[in-house]
Amino acid sequence: MKKYDVIIIGSGLGGLECGYILSRKGYRVCILEKNSQTGGCLQTFRRGNASFDTGFHYVGGLEEGQSLYPLFRYFGLLDLPWHKMDENGFAEVLLDEKSYLFASGHERFADTMSNYFPHQRRQIIDYTSFLKKVGDNMMNSFLPERRNEFTVSALYERSAYAFLQESIDDPLLRNVLSGASFTMELNAERLPLYVFAQINNSFIQSSWRLKGGGSLIADRLAESIRSMGGDILTHAEVTRLKVHNGVITSVYCNNEEEFSGKYVISGIHPSLTLSLISDNRYIRKIFRKRIDELENSYGIFTAHLKLKANAVPYLNRNICIFCGKTPWEYAYYRSGEKTTTALVSFQVPAEGDYTPNIDILTPMHWQEVAPWAEAREDTYRAFKMRKAEECIALVSEKLPGLKDCIDRVYTSTPLTYRDYTGTKEGAAYGIRKDYKHLLYTLLTPQTQIPNLLLTGQNLNLHGILGVSMTSVFTCARITGMKNLLNDIE
pLDDT tens-digit readout, 39-84: 988 988 888 888 888 889 999 999 999 999 999 999 999 999 999 9
Instruction: Read off the pLDDT band of 86 (50, 70, 90).
Output: very high
338 pLDDT exceeds 70? yes
193 pLDDT exceeds 60? yes
Clarify whether residues 9 and 45 are in a common domain.
yes
> Domain containing 342: what range?
82-212+296-424
Clarify whether residues 281 and 301 are in a common domain.
no
Q: Report the domain count for the chain.
A: 2
pLDDT 10s digits, 175-187: 999 999 999 999 9
Q: Give 218's DSSP letter.
A: H
Least confident interval from 141-150, 231-240, 366-375, 388-397:
141-150
Q: What is the mean pLDDT of the chain?
A: 93
Where do the H-state alpha helices sit in 237-325? 270-275, 285-292
Q: How many CB atoms lie within 10 A of CB 444?
A: 12
76 within some domain:
no
Q: Give 480's DSSP letter.
A: -
Query: pLDDT at position 148, please?
Result: 65
143 pLDDT exceeds 80? no
Clarify whether residues 271 and 189 are in a common domain.
no
Instruction: Read off the pLDDT band of 150 (50, 70, 90).
Output: low
64 within some domain:
no
Clarify whether residues 172 and 246 are in a common domain.
no
Clarify whether residues 173 and 113 are in a common domain.
yes
* End-to-end CA, the chain: 38
3-state secondary structure at position 259: strand
Give the CATH number of the domain where residue 119 resides. 3.90.660
71 within some domain:
no
Instruction: Read off the pLDDT band of 294 (50, 70, 90).
Output: very high
Q: In the listed set 424, 450, 468, which residue is the last one of a domain according to the structure?
A: 424
3-state secondary structure at position 66: coil
- Strand 29-32 versus strand 2-9 pairing type: parallel
Q: In the listed set 379, 404, 424, which residue is the last one of a domain according to the structure?
A: 424
109 within some domain:
yes
Clarify whether residues 349 and 450 are in a common domain.
no
165 close to 305: Cβ distance less than 8 angstroms: no
149 pLDDT exceeds 80? no
Average pLDDT over residues 156-163: 94
Range among 6-20, 32-46, 140-154 rated most confident: 6-20
Clarify whether residues 290 and 224 are in a common domain.
yes
pLDDT 10s digits, 200-233: 999 999 999 999 999 999 999 999 999 999 999 9
Clarify whether residues 182 and 238 are in a common domain.
no
Q: How many CB atoms lie within 10 A of CB 118?
A: 9
Q: In the listed set 424, 442, 462, which residue is the last one of a domain according to the structure?
A: 424
6 within some domain:
yes
63 within some domain:
no
62 within some domain:
no
Query: pLDDT at position 151, please?
Result: 63
Q: Give 114's DSSP letter.
A: H
131 close to 200: Cβ distance less than 8 angstroms: yes
Query: pLDDT at position 27, please?
Result: 97
Query: pLDDT at position 279, please?
Result: 78
Query: pLDDT at position 357, please?
Result: 96
> What percent of the chain lies above the pLDDT cut of 90?
81
- Strand 452-454 versus strand 257-266 pairing type: parallel
243 pLDDT exceeds 60? yes
Clarify whether residues 104 and 116 are in a common domain.
yes
CA dist., res. 207 & res. 290, Å (int): 37
Where do the H-state alpha helices sit in 257-396? 270-275, 285-292, 366-369, 378-396
Clarify whether residues 345 and 220 are in a common domain.
no
72 within some domain:
no
Clarify whether residues 204 and 235 are in a common domain.
no
Rg (CA), the chain: 22
102 pLDDT exceeds 60? yes
Clarify whether residues 228 and 245 are in a common domain.
yes
Give the CATH number of the domain where residue 252 resides. 3.50.50.60
Query: pLDDT at position 147, please?
Result: 67
